[in-house]
Amino acid sequence: MTSVDTQVTDVLREAYRSGMPIPPPSREQDLSINDAYGTQLNQVRAWTADGTRAVRRKMGCSGPRARNRCRIEAEEREGVMS
């Protein structure tokens, strides 16, 4: 956890609580992919600490093995995965 992803997490949590829209955090500061993943992890940890239960995970299906595992047919992939 870096100070950048902690700061971004705090801003996002406050916006979520208040319901007030905010500009994308990347407009305010230069964020790395590690900052983005750190922020996502911080948010999940904060929500679960508040009693929210994580029920699903996002999974990319761009590789052939992942598509086969998810039983995504070729017709469904056209234009979306190519």
Burial bucket for residue 8 (CB in 10 Å: 0-12, 13-18, 19+): buried
Q: Give the per-residue pLDDT at 14.
A: 93
Tokens 């595992």, residue?
A: 69
Is the whole model's pTM more than 0.85, yes or no? no
Per-residue pLDDT of the chain (82 residues; tens, 9 = 90+): 568 888 889 999 999 999 999 998 888 888 888 888 889 899 889 989 989 887 776 666 677 787 777 776 654 444 444 3
| 65 φ, ψ (degrees, to nearest 5) | -65, -40
* Residue ranges of domains in the chain: 1-51, 56-82
| 81 φ, ψ (degrees, to nearest 5) | -95, -15
Cα dihedral 56, 61, 64, 66, rounded to 10, equals -10
Q: Give the per-residue pLDDT at 54.
A: 76
The answer to whether 62 touches 77, Cβ cutoff 8 Å, is no
Which DSSP symbol is given to 26?
H
